[in-house]
Chains A and B, each alone.
Chain A
Amino acid sequence: MRIIQLLPTLSYGDGVGNDTLAIDQIIKELGYETKIYAENIDSRIEKGIAEKAEKMPQPDPNDTILYHLSTGTALNDKLKDFPCKKLIIYHNITPAHFFKEYSRISYDLCESGRAAISQLKEAADYCWADSGYNRQELLENGYSCNIDVVPIVIPFKDYETEPDKAILKKYRDDWVNLVFVGRISPNKKQEDIIKTFYYYKKYINPKSRLFLVGSYSGTERYYERLCRYVTELKLEDVHITGHIKFKEILSYYHLADVFLCMSEHEGFCIPLLEAMYFKIPIVAYAYTGVKETLADAGLKFTEKNCKVAAEMIRMIVEKNDLRDTIIKTQNIRLKDFAYEKTKEKIVSCLKGFIE
């Protein structure tokens, strides 16, 4: 009896990639035979950990496939034909309309991915959802099998890595640093972060910077539009990093005074947990998966208003007691995602399914 993890792309350092590798490790510790197969494998992934999906042998009826549903792919069509138990791990797929103006490729992938969600309901014997929000989407798509909320495994130990010293030296001063970490992507509404920073810098505190830390590969037209927006606003000290090394990302977390999230679609939003880990107070638009990931932590608003967000940032920067209280709420929430707790949940859910 083998447990096979199957996914479209095994990337290095992203949420789905880390989750897959962590689950692989947990399954091995349980003593099961397991392998990861992916259509695309990042060259930085250690050799031997995963193989190309085309090399996957036909599963036995006794095998179990853990299928990571996160995008449109031909694998979505093939899954129902495998004659074994199928556990779908639903990571959410960005609604296609966010990409309509920017990328036909991304639009088509998201469109076909979203269509696959309901098409796979009969194929699934059991589901895991990263969040209650994701679970609810599966239910709305007609899933009748058991669905458990199993958070993404976060490699918190990796965050102890030494940050990049040059970046710290460049920006560590008495200025206020606002940070958002996440792909430059239309659903994450980086334009609203820029607009909030505009209000904060022009009306409240000119000694401030904004760092948008994330790759814009695949969303170049959105990135260009953001850059022109910054220029048209005559806004200085906005830095869009693009794809950078992990230790450089860590530097921005170390520099951050406030983490600002204005996203309009997230299934989970791992950077929120990263901000909590680095004890950065969070100001966020509580919508889709963000609301649940934060729960009672951070400073949230439910009606999007960039002036309100700017004033929230001001209050956090100027009022130490508010800042400390926010960080306390975040420390409590972060415990819900501790590695041992998530691992325990994975082991109990997995054993319950395969045994």
Chain B
Amino acid sequence: MENEINIEQIMEEIRQNIKDRGYDREPLSFEEIELSKPVLHGAGGYDPEEFLHELDYLNHNWNNSWQVPVNGTNPVSVWIKKGIRKCTRFLLFPIVNFQNAYNASAIRCFNQIKEYMAEMEEYKKKIEILEKELQEMKTRS
């Protein structure tokens, strides 16, 4: 029939072509490509090291200054930029203060979570010891 594809014939031709073409080295497989570290929290599962690393960063970087340093080689442009910074103080100061207060509160929460997790780890260890003792008692009796 006109609309039928002879798949057997096609596959035979393909097998022959693959032989003739001499595909030499197999390319790198996708599995050999390492996965990147998760960017989003929880994207790759809980990682205690990463959690402590990020918490440490937060504890040392929560407090920002409204006064962004002004640098430059041209003294006139530096003077102008400092002037603009002074003029916008009334806007920036309250915003940055509010953000810092928010940051402080959030980090206090995270630090509390860290303490809670440490307590849970202790409980977990105690449970494991008790389960082991219970198993031993069951075996003896």
Contacts and interface: CB of A to CB of B under 8 A. Distances in A.
Interface in A301-337: 307-308, 311-312, 314-315, 322, 325-326, 328-329, 332
A225 B43 contact: no
Contacts, number: 75
Contacts of B35: 101-102, 221, 225
A330 to B, nearest CB: 10
Interface in B1-44: 2-5, 7, 10-11, 13-14, 17-18, 21, 23, 27-28, 30, 32-33, 35-36, 38-39, 42-44
B43 A312 contact: no
Interface stretch (A143-151, A164-172, A191-199, A344-352): A191-199
B72 interface: no
Contacts of A191: 30
A224 B3 CA distance: 42
A185 to B, nearest CB: 14
Interface residues of B, number: 26
B30 A307 contact: no
A98 B84 CA distance: 53
A344 B13 CA distance: 43
Highest count of chain B CB atoms <10 Å: which of A192, A300, A322, A325: A325
A295 interface: no
B21 A104 contact: no
18 contacts: A104-B44, A105-B42, A192-B30, A194-B30, A199-B23, A221-B38, A221-B43, A225-B35, A229-B30, A232-B32, A299-B5, A299-B7, A307-B23, A311-B18, A315-B14, A322-B10, A325-B5, A332-B3
Given A221-B38, A322-B5, A329-B3, A198 B27 contact: yes
